[in-house]
Structure 1
């Protein structure tokens, strides 16, 4: 009996020692550090919001924050959306900084170019911002058409998906380019 227990313990310890830890997951560096002034504590912060335009039910805004103590400023793009349910009215603004906005515009222009090429199989693209706004496109082979979308992070699943077509994609790219120039 001792022999069996000894053999089992030796085999168990050899098996445990032979396990190789998986390699660590390396994530790409973030495209943005996020708003810094906005999150400061113990100082007076000034926030100015300028409307740039509207896309579907999103209000595209330029947001400028200024720290009154040292006059440092930063600007970024705001995407504000509103919705109303039976019991609730909600407004939320998600932000995109200038570096990330440039990458988003490039990604949408690439999708626009891919849309002009004929696809013969189901294809999908997505770009997710630091504030978890997902911009994407799906080619539906059965319909032979592209569907573009913006998915806003929201606890209400039926409130967070905006679908749009090719012409509206051009409109969105133009609006985001305008915003990029103003930031």
Structure 2
């Protein structure tokens, strides 16, 4: 009996050691350098918030951070949303830097162009920012219309999805262009 147990354990350990290890996961190269000043430790950080506009329940803001010790500064676009439940009130600001904002505006303008063309089949577009904000558009063949959306990163079961139409897409692009000029 001992021999059988020893043989089984030897065979199973040999089998486990012989398994091929999976290739390492390659992450995509970030298009943003991230918020360097905001993440500094042991120094006083100044933050100024200027409202650019409001879209649905998003407050779009210019956010400027500054480290007075070396006068370095950063500006970026913030998208602040708030929600309230029975037990909780929360505000969260997601950020988009200037380079990424330009790409987002171009993507939304392309979507706006595509929505003016006649679509015959279900078509979808999406643009995901470094902060995991998803902007998208879906052509619903059954309804013969486009539905635009912004999907915000959220808690496990909390869905933060805002849907809007073509006219509101134009409004969003205008607000984002204004924000880009202020950065």
Which runs of structure 2 are paired with 1:62-81 in the superposition (5 Å)?
A: 62-81=62-81
Inter-partner Cα distance in structure 2 for 1:22 and 1:46:
45
Q: Give the match for residue 112 of structure 1.
A: 112
Q: Give the match for residue 38 of structure 2.
A: 38
8 A Cα contact 1:83 1:159, kept in partner: no
> Which structure 2 residue ranges, 5 or more long, are not aligned?
1-10
Inter-partner Cα distance in structure 1 for 2:118 and 2:177:
26
Q: Give the match for residue 60 of structure 2.
A: 60
Deviation of 1:28 (Å): 3.6
Q: Give the match for residue 137 of structure 1.
A: 137
Inter-partner Cα distance in structure 2 for 1:74 and 1:56:
27
Residues 20-49 of structure 1: per-residue CA shift (max 9 Å, x gap): x87766544211121110000111100000
TM-score, normalising length: structure 1: 0.86
Inter-partner Cα distance in structure 1 for 2:49 and 2:179:
13
> Which SS does the other structure have where 1:33 is aligned?
coil
RMSD value, Cα: 2.0
> Which structure 1 residue ranges, 5 or more long, are not aligned?
1-8
Give the number of aligned pairs. Answer: 170
Q: Give the match for residue 8 of structure 2.
A: none
> Which SS does the other structure have where 1:38 is aligned?
coil
> Which SS does the other structure have where 2:147 is aligned?
strand
